[in-house]
Structure 1
Amino acid sequence: MKMNTRRNFIRQLGTGMAAAAAYPVLSPLLSCNGGSRTAAQKETITTSELFFKISLAEWSLNRALFGGQLDHLDFPLYAKENFGIDAVEYVNQFFMDKATDQSYLGELKTRCDDHGIRSVLIMCDREGDLGDTVPAQRKTAVENHYKWVEAAQFLGCHAIRVNAAGEGTAEEVARCAVESLTELATFASDYGISVIVENHGGYSSNGKWLSGVMQTVGLPNCGTLPDLGNFCIKRTEPVEQTVEAYMATECLEEYDRYQGTAELLPFAKGVSAKTYDFDADGNETSIDYSRVLRMVKEAGFTGYVGIEYEGHSLAANEGITKTKAMLERIGSGLV
């Protein structure tokens, strides 16, 4: 099975995604260096009663980053100044050639330390398929992630997020993913870093399949990053290699998100709060967040829930703000 996911699409398209700027990216009220803020945005919602912590996934601002409106080094402070979020999740694509650049990483770490911002994890894409059935390619994929483990430790992250991708039968890819994850997690354990797998399309969006992989690996620093909105196993192919075409693709086979979430939560070392659009009451229109956050709480999870806004009807800043408000409102009611 060929995994048609965000990771594969971007790998094919490369970093020439400035075309994404055709969509609204940053609210006109919020410039890259802070800008002016509305009274509503200045309002502080008490989050001390939440059972989880909130972080911001860098992918939420991918259009601004790919379009040159926001620099990766500025992302942490941008998250804190504009959204009041002091924990961030990086995407390696925005500093792909900097994993071993101690000067660059040092600058990023200093900026975070100076402003009390926590680096939570690094989402790793475009480093090869950990479920590749070709041994040499699988070995390369594993070794390609080593530098991100080291970078994560340097920045103070607790984990790197990887993908259990591969082509072949479900059993073949599972076997290869187990082998790769075991090797990578063993390497990462010496750095105090966890290796966590997101349901990211293909077999990995089948909760039973991915939970089975986790059970077989059985290492304490190998877990999952349940993405509450990413349970599409198979999509239509985009008619062309553009962001617009990819966003227009349809899901042909989808795993039940609530069943999948329940299956992945026992192994969760992070949660991705995917959002696309909101109704008049501020609720996500395609995911019952009251239901999934209750599941997260009942699973005993108390870590970071990362905001990952992927909608296109709102500017990124507005989508992030609405997601944060929804998480705080629903989460505070689940104490």
Structure 2
Amino acid sequence: MNLSICSFSFHRLLAAGKQDMFQYIKDSKNLCCTHLEPWNAHLSRIDQGQEVLHAGSNPRMSHHLTAMDDNYLDEVKQAADEAGLAFGCIAVDGAHIYEENEEDRARNRAKAYRWISIAERLSAAQIRIDSGGGDEFDERSFEIIIEGYEDIIRRAAESGIQVVVENHWGPTRFPDNVVKLKEALPKLGLLLDSWNWAPGKQAEGWLKCAKYATATHIKTFHFTEDGQELTQNIPAFIHLLQEHGFDGIWGIESVPANLDEIEGARKTVELIKRTLKQQ
């Protein structure tokens, strides 16, 4: 079983100065992960904890997330290698494809290129770049998004990296828009988040998009005393992915409401292991 914890699961620890990228690697190892899937804030220069919290709540406005230099990245890669953990998907905020203004699109494209080079340096398998845009695609925005993805997919493929889109914000919260993107861009992977759908669209999102999943964010918020997730049926989500032949990393993005972040991640790991063991 391949298992990861997206480092956004520890964004409060990062903001409080209690976890950096190196501690994230140690925590992932201690939590029995096989892979690392960092949120790009963990690989960025952060001056204040408030910047982390702002980035987490406003992915479309995360332009201040600036990557560290290559020497630092090499130290991160060495620490990961020593821990025996490979890099799966790097989740990038602030480099999305669509902006209304051409200069803003060019700035985001440059950021996407830089994060692709970082993914290559870390030998990551995937990189998540959001589409951007409003809730619905119009003809112009869709053409811009398709052109942008085609460009970064080509660039990433040269380094053996898959670009993935996530049902995250904007148009990708709607299942039909995700399907439309996937049909137009067969080489674009899907990071399927169990939770991030527009109100009333979760069940439709699971059923229409499970077959496209190449990575996952299994979201958890509240646990019962016996370790079940109260917000959604996580075992059903896992079983649906298995039915569609998912063989990637079981990626966790826990956002515990009443637990510390390490314990929330631990409970999610245990839930996934129990569910898979029952198969």
The structure 1 residue matched to 2:91, chosen from 98, 123, 128, is 123
TM-score (norm 2): 0.87
For 2:191, the equivalent position in structure 1 comes to: 225
| Corresponding residue of 1:316 | 261
Matched, 1:86 2:41: no
**Counterpart pick for 2:143 among 157, 169, 175:** 175
The correspondence for 1:208, drawn from 166, 176, 187, is 176
Q: Distance in 2 between matches of 1:214 and 1:262?
A: 15
Q: Distance in 1 between matches of 2:200 and 2:122?
A: 35
2:214 partner SS: coil
Query: Counterpart amino acid of 1:161?
Result: R
Out of 49, 65, 72, the position equivalent to 1:104 is 72
**Which residue of 1 is the match for residue 43 of structure 2?**
95
Q: Select 2:252's aligned residue among 286, 295, 307.
A: 307
Partner of 1:73: 22
- Identify unmatched segments of 5+ residues in structure 2: 46-65
Cα RMSD over matched residues? Answer: 1.7
1:276 to 204, 213, 221: 221
1:143 aligns with 2:92: no
Rg comparison, structure with higher value: 1
Q: Tell me, what secondary structure is at the counterpart of 2:24?
A: helix
Whether the 8 Å CA contact 1:205–1:255 is kept in 2: the answer is no
SS in 1 for 2:209: helix
If asked which structure has higher relative contact order (CA below 8 Å, sep 6+), I would say: 1
Residues 105/229 of structure 1: CA separation in 2 closer, same or farther (3 Å cut): same
* Counterpart for residue 204 of structure 2: 259
AA of the residue aligned to 1:112: A
Deviation, structure 1 residue 315? 0.9
Write the letter of the residue equivalent to 1:74.
Q
Distance in structure 2 (CA, Å) of the matches to 1:119 and 1:205: 26
Unaligned runs of 5+ in 1: 1-51, 233-253
Change over 3 Å in CA distance of 1:300–1:168 after alignment to 2: closer
SS of the aligned residue for 1:90 comes to coil
Check conservation: 2:4, 2:35, Cα contact below 8 A: yes
In structure 2, the residue matched to 1:33 is none
Measured after TM superposition, the shift of residue 261 of structure 1 is: 2.1
Aligned equivalents of 1:70, 1:99: Cα separation in 2: 17
Q: Distance in 2 between matches of 1:130 and 1:199?
A: 14
Please give the alpha-carbon distance, in whole angstroms, between the structure 2 residues aligned to 1:78 and 1:61: 10
Alignment of 1:54 with 2:12, yes or no, is: no
Q: What amino acid sits opposite 2:78 in the alignment?
A: T
State the alpha-carbon separation in 2 of the partners of residues 100 and 186 from structure 1: 24
- Once residues 134 and 125 of structure 1 are traced to their aligned partners in structure 2, the CA distance between those partners, rounded to angstroms, is 18
Deviations 1:145-173 (A, max 9, x none): 11111111111110111111114752243
The answer to whether the Cα contact below 8 Å between 2:178 and 2:209 also exists between their aligned partners in 1 is: yes
The structure with the largest helix share of the pair is: 2
Separation in 1, partners of 2:17, 2:225: 32
SS across alignment from 2:124: coil
* Alpha-carbon contact 1:274-1:308 (below 8 Å) kept: yes
Shift of 1:94: 2.3
Cα contact 1:206–1:255 (8 A) shared by 2: no
Aligned length: 258
The aligned residue for residue 286 of structure 1 is: 231
- Identical-residue share of aligned pairs (%): 24
Cα deviation 1:89-129 (Å, max 9, x = unaligned): 111122224746221011001111112111112111123x3
* 1:107 alignment partner AA: E
Cα separation, 2, equivalents of 1:146 and 1:322:
36
Distance 1:62 1:100 in 2: 18
- 1:63: which partner in 2? 12
Deviation at 1:71, TM superposition (A): 1.5
Amino acid aligned to 1:154: R
Distance 1:260 1:294 in 2: 15
